[in-house]
Amino acid sequence: MRRWRRIGAYGLCRDGERVLLARGSATARFPGVWQLPGGGVEHGEHPTAAVCREFVEETGLTVEVTGVRLVLADVVRLAGVEGPVAEHTDRIVYDVVPTGGTLCVEARGSTDEVAWVTPAELAGLTLMPFTAELLGRPAEPLPESTVPVTDVPVTDVPVTDGPVTGGSAPTEGAMRPAAVDRYQRFAAYGLATDPAGRILLTRIATGFPGAGRWHLPGGGTDHGEQPVSALLRELVEETGQLGRVTGLLHVSHRHNTAEFGPEGRSLDWHGVRVIYRVEVDAPTEAKVTEAAGGSTETAGWFSRAELAELPRTEVVDAALSRL
């Protein structure tokens, strides 16, 4: 089965106990199924901009993002032109509040109804699994979508915004073929500390973007992998540490139209990064355990004073500002 990846941004908008939901139209992947308003993050677009744009398109409302609620992933089976496709979606759910507009239905789009739904009414609706889980309802698996979607080639390219390599994904949009050498990547990183308050960092190897700078442990998620699972896997591979995720800190993005790394050519590259808070209860000497030739050359524990003297990536500084 062919595999696709996409990134989506969605908004949880409440009015008292009611929640705003949108129903998939006949042209949607799953017609008649309800979910939180939102959709695909376009190439180079910040996820918060994506959710605000999608809200206007699907509901007629303008919204303000007040926080990030959760990040999760799922895989659904689609009917592709060249055969069935397993589509992995990384979903970022934000808390949003309305700031203007008038509630209305999207014209000739992927939704055909929007409504404020009470908890009692949820029981009678078919919900997307991620929406059901978020709202405390049983998450029922969806059948294979019978709505044909245009095939989009997916190429695994070792492009990074830090000390990792990973697969790329096409932009979602209308599922049209992505431009040559244009890639979108989803990654999970951790701001990890030990009981003494030291911070765990990794140094980017020569030949990779950001070489010589210190970065948060983490990296690209695999197809079918949850972001938290990917982070804990990367933590072992890059630093040899066992950690536990204790919270969600931040979601950021980086768009570089001329990224150049070990693939040997310039790329229009868009990375979306989720940053978690991680605690390592029984720290050991930090050491790289993944195979030689990777993008992490070394790892170490640092005090806040020591960290201030290190060359760091912007991801480290963004995480520290929210510690």
CATH assignment of the domain containing 257? 3.90.79.10
Shared domain check, 307 and 187: yes
- Which domain range does residue 310 map to? 182-320
* Best CA proximity match to 55, nearest among 26, 88, 21: 21
**Structure confidence at residue 172 (pLDDT):** 37
User: Is position 158 within any domain?
Assistant: no
Tell whether 210 and 112 lie within a shared domain. Answer: no
Let me know whether 127 and 213 are in one domain.
no
The Cα–Cα gap between 138 and 53 comes to: 29
- Whether residue 143 lies inside any domain: the answer is no
- Does 308 fall in a domain? yes
Question: Does 277 reside within a domain?
Answer: yes
Residue 130 shares a structural domain with residue 186: no
The Cα 40–Cα 45 span in angstroms is 10
* HEC profile of the chain: CEEEEEEEEEEEEEECCEEEEEEECCCCCCCCCEECCEEECCCCCCHHHHHHHHHHHHHCEEEEEEEEEEEEEEEEEEEECCEEEEEEEEEEEEEEEEEEECCCCCCCCCEEEEEEECHHHHCCCCECHHHHHHCCCCCCCCCCCCCCECCCCCCCCCCCCCCCCCCCECCCCCCCCCCCCEEEEEEEEEEEECCCCCEEEEEECCCCCCCCCEECCEEECCCCCCHHHHHHHHHHHHHCCCCEEEEEEEEEEEEEEEEECCCCCEEEEEEEEEEEEEECCCCCCCCCCCCCCCCEEEEEEECHHHHCCCCECHHHHHHHCCC
Domain assignment present for residue 146? The answer is no
The residue among 7, 173, 182 whose CA lies nearest residue 88 is 7
Residue 149, in any domain of the structure: no
Residue 157: what pLDDT?
Answer: 36
- Is the domain of 295 the same as that of 226? yes
Entry field: residues in the chain: 323
For residue 295, is it within any domain?
Answer: yes
Total tally of structural domains belonging to the chain? 2
Assess contact for 237 and 218: CB atoms under 8 A: no
- From first to last of its 323 residues, what are the pLDDT tens digits of the chain? 889 999 999 999 999 999 999 999 998 889 999 999 999 999 999 999 999 999 999 999 999 999 999 999 999 998 877 888 999 999 999 999 999 999 999 888 889 999 999 999 999 999 999 999 999 999 888 877 777 776 554 433 333 333 333 333 333 333 444 445 788 999 999 999 999 999 999 999 988 888 999 999 999 999 999 999 999 999 999 999 999 999 999 999 999 888 776 767 788 989 999 999 999 999 999 999 987 778 899 999 999 999 999 999 999 999 999 88
pLDDT at 180: 52
Q: What is the pLDDT of residue 151?
A: 53
What pLDDT score does 166 carry? 33
Q: Rounded CA gap, 319 and 86, in Å?
A: 33
Q: What is the pLDDT of residue 150?
A: 66
Asked whether residue 313 is assigned to any structural domain, the reply reads yes
- Report the DSSP beta bridge partners of residue 86: 3, 77
Backbone φ/ψ region at 281: left (φ over 0), alpha (ψ -120 to 50), beta: alpha
